[in-house]
């Protein structure tokens, strides 16, 4: 059955941008150093996204410091930073939940970089964050992993009789085949696709690193159909080489891409949280279950550390169950085959098993 026809994305009505009232902490003298540090970060090759994240974390700290009348770099000591760390630990979000240790770490790491810079630039006599101990970053298992049947159901929801449906099918296929992140997907350009080699080049993925990933036959077939037959109908600016564009000829933002995938998940009756990352998890897990070496999955996912990839060895419970059933000596078929034929021997075996249980 063909899926629902995709709804067009409507542009939001443009409204005049009003001048925002500056926050009280924006006048804190610490902000002068923060702005200088962010400029230094940009000059030394940090990506705009990384500079933006640093800025948000540091401005949050300045706001906290301003409430406590801390206005000079010399006011900041290790005990002050530890108080801020304790504040983050006890902070309650609007939904009533605390910040995860990962979120706390993301807010504290920029502080260490900032004060290291301040000490090196002689704005401070010493670095108060040099001995700040960060919270341990926990590695949590993906809560939900789509099955192969669920992925097939998701793909079938696209209306391939409609140009937008062909584009969406190509996008879903590429997400599932390559395990790219949604930001990486949004930044793909036409020259990144090597038709002869059947690969995609992912520019400046997480950590600013490039990688080349295979497409696979099915994903490449749908991408070919989209690029040859559909994209020319959608493109407005011939100088824009963004690979996937909306109904209005604009590049997909990461949020719009996430909303599109979430809509198809809902139509497929898949109500678990998440969107694009579900397909990334599914790709890695399904490949592992089919025998792929974890080192190849590490390259596909763009993980610098194989420890980040090894989480999928824990996710792949189906493969573990299959191997356990085939190899564990306690399996039922093995027990039956090894069971003595006469009743006395069977009784002796049961007694021995019972004794083992009592010993434990």
What positions carry a catalytic annotation?
A: 181, 206, 277, 280, 303, 312
Residue 54 and residue 38 in contact, taking contact as beta carbons nearer than 8 Å? yes
* DSSP H or E stretch at residue 326: helix 317-327
DSSP class per residue in 74-94: GG--HHHHHHHHHHHHH-B-T
* Pairwise CA distance, residues 360 & 344, whole Å: 25
Six token digits for residue 239: 């100088």
Task: Please enumerate in sequence order all residues whose Cβ is within 8 A of that of 23, keeping only pairs 6 or more positions apart, or say none.
Answer: 63
SS3 label, residue 105 = helix
The two structure tokens encoding residue 114: 């900032």
Cβ-Cβ contacts under 8 Å for 93 (sequence gap 6 or more): 99
Distance from C-alpha of 115 to C-alpha of 124, rounded to nearest angstrom: 8
Compute the radius of gyration of the chain from its Cα atoms: 27
- Cα–Cα distance, 20 to 206 (Å, whole number): 32
Asked whether the CA dihedral 235, 239, 244, 245 is positive or negative, the reply is negative
d(CA 289, CA 147): 11
């Amino acid at each position: 059955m063909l899926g629902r026809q995709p709804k067009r994305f409507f542009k939001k009505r443009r409204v005049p941008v009003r001048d925002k009232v500056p926050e009280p902490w924006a006048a804190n003298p610490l902000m002068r150093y923060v702005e200088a540090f962010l400029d230094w970060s940009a000059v030394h090759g940090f990506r705009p996204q990384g500079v933006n994240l640093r800025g948000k974390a540091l401005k949050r700290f300045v706001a906290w410091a301003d409430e406590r009348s801390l206005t000079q770099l010399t006011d900041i000591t290790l005990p002050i930073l530890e108080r801020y760390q304790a504040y983050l630990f006890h902070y309650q979000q609007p939904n009533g939940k605390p910040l995860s240790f990962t979120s706390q770490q993301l807010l504290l790491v920029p502080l260490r970089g900032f004060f290291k810079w301040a000490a090196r630039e002689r704005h401070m006599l010493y670095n108060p964050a040099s001995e700040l101990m960060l919270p341990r970053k926990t590695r949590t298992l993906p809560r939900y992993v789509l099955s192969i049947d669920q992925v097939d159901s998701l793909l079938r929801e696209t209306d391939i009789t409609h140009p937008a449906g062909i584009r969406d099918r190509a996008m879903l296929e590429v997400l599932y085949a390559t395990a790219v992140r949604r930001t990486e997907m949004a930044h793909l350009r036409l020259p990144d696709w090597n038709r002869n080699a059947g690969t995609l080049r992912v520019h400046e993925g997480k950590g600013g690193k490039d990688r080349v990933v295979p497409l696979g036959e099915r994903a490449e077939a749908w991408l070919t159909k989209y690029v040859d037959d559909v994209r020319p109908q959608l493109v407005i600016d011939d100088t824009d080489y963004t690979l996937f564009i909306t109904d209005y000829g604009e590049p997909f933002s990461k949020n719009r891409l996430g909303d599109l995938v979430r809509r198809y998940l809902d139509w497929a009756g898949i109500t678990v949280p998440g969107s694009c990352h579900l397909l990334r998890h599914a790709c890695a897990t399904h490949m592992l279950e089919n025998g792929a070496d974890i080192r190849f999955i590490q390259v596909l996912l763009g993980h610098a550390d194989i420890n980040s990839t090894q989480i999928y060895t824990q996710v792949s419970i189906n493969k573990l169950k299959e191997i356990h059933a085939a190899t564990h000596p306690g399996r039922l078929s093995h027990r039956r085959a090894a069971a003595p034929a006469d009743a006395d021997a069977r009784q002796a075996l049961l007694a021995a098993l019972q004794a083992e249980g009592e010993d434990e």
